Structure 1
Amino acid sequence: MPQMAPIYWLFMFFFFIMSFMLFFMLNYFMKPYSKINFSSDSNKTLIYKSWKL
């Protein structure tokens, strides 16, 4: 039904906003980039994998 189209897009908009907020909240509180500490691992040799064949 064409009458249901605004309700559908409103639902999709709120779903997008909620998933966007959830992504940023998880990224803010978990901080996956701060778990890597290069200063304490200075004596260890880091192995970098290259994607080149």
Structure 2
Amino acid sequence: MPQMAPLLWFNLFTFFSITFMLFFIMNYFLAPYNKIKPTSKTQKTKKLNWKW
């Protein structure tokens, strides 16, 4: 029945959009973040003195 085709495409589109949004929401909240480790103040970086 060709009359049912728009309803089928609408259901597929809603299912796809819901799963797409769910995927991005889960990636946003569950993704392991790369945290920048701050260097401690007790650790001094050695600066090279190029002037003799």
Sort the TM-score into its range (normalised by shorter chain).
0.5 to 0.7
The answer for unaligned runs of 5 or more in structure 2 is 38-52
Q: Deviations over 1:19-47 (max 9, x none)?
A: 00000000000013x26888xxxxxxxxx
The runs of at least 4 consecutive aligned structure 1 residues that moved more than 3 Å come to 35-38
CA RMSD of aligned residues (A): 2.0
Aligned length: 38
More helix by share: 1
Taking only the aligned residue pairs, the percentage that are identical comes to: 51
TM-score, reference length from structure 1: 0.60
1:4 aligns with 2:4: yes
Structure exhibiting the larger radius of gyration computed from Cα positions? 2
